[in-house]
Amino acid sequence: MKIGIIGGSGLYEIDGFEFVEDIELVNRYGKPTDKYKKFYFEGCEFYFLNRHGHGHKIPPHKVNYRANIYGFKELGVEHIIAFTAVGGINRLLKPGDILIPDNAIDFTSGRESTYYDEEEIYHIDFTNPFCPELRNVLAKSVISVKERFYEKGTYICTNGPRLETAAEIRAFWNLGADIVGMTLFPECVLARELEICYANVSVVTNFAAGTTTEKLTVNEVLEVMKQNNEKIKLIVKNITKNLKLIKNECECKRALKDTKISK
């Protein structure tokens, strides 16, 4: 099985993972944000991609999401697990907590969000934006690490790169959002359009704006991600132990069926 991992460069060194090669791609949507790093582990092929590029030089609104996800498709990847840093809106959430969202809200704008905007037009069903089978794998993998986590929640995606206002966070809470980040969309949509299973693991790195009196800083985010890096690596290692839960009976593999409107 081929598994795609989207995250930061800190994930590239996991005990037991055999590094194979760097793969540099350019496709019809341009150049992905970084090279794909291929690893072998327990009979699986893992392809790691740094979403923001080497040195974190690409802001969320300028990531070439279409090239990134299409690159995974070219490599034959059928399952993508995306790691993201988020702010906690729900007051139950504390920095360091892990959440595997089951739904999402898109507040981005100006991003290339579909592969089908020219001759072929598809309107995919996105009632459930994440693969239930892959979410189940992730839940079991996190449980194995014995970390505090939440198996459900709603991720709201803003455009960035600025952080949100306190009023925006209050509005997002009223909309039903539990966490806020900047990179989920259109990444998850593009994966569904290519019929790739996609699930997200969000690490709460800070309290969202207005939910605390403390000033939000990038240092806080980086420090929490650094502290959580080892547990994220353990979660990735545990994925192979739970792949038997994948039956390929999800709707992801048939996402385009009966959705084409162009003639």
The full DSSP string for 144-168 is HHT--EES--EEEEE--SSPPPHHH
pTM: 0.94
- Which residues does residue 197 pair with via DSSP β-bridges, in sequence order? 79
The pLDDT value given to residue 9: 65
pLDDT of residue 224: 75
Tens digits of pLDDT across the chain (263 residues): 999 999 876 778 898 999 999 999 999 999 999 999 999 999 999 999 999 998 889 999 999 999 999 999 999 999 999 999 999 999 999 999 999 999 999 999 999 999 998 888 999 999 999 999 999 999 999 988 777 889 999 999 999 999 999 999 999 999 999 999 999 999 999 999 999 999 999 999 999 988 876 776 777 777 777 777 888 899 999 999 998 888 888 999 999 999 998 76
pLDDT at residue number 118: 84
d(Cα 154, Cα 177) in Å, to the nearest integer? 5
Residue 7's contacts (CB-CB under 8 Å, 6 or more residues apart) are: 48, 49, 50, 51, 82, 83, 232
Determine how many CB atoms are found less than 10 A away from the CB of residue 132: 15
Reduce the DSSP state of residue 48 to 3 states and report it. strand
Phi, psi of 252 (to 5 degrees): -55, -40
- Residues in the annotated binding site for substrate: 182, 206-208
Position 261 in a domain: no
User: From CA 60, how far away is CA 146, in angstroms rounded?
Assistant: 31
Contact at 8 Å (CB) between 107 and 154?
Answer: no
Known binding residues for phosphate: 9, 51-52, 84-85, 183
Range of the domain at 249: 2-254
In a domain, 61, yes or no: yes
Summarize the annotated binding site as residue ranges.
Answer: 9, 51-52, 84-85, 182-183, 206-208
Question: 145 in a domain, yes or no?
Answer: yes
Return the pLDDT at 263.
66
Q: Which residue has the tokens 């997200």?
A: 200
State the total domains in the chain.
Answer: 1
Q: What is the CATH number of the domain that holds 102?
A: 3.40.50.1580
Residues 54 and 35: beta-carbon distance below 8 Å:
no
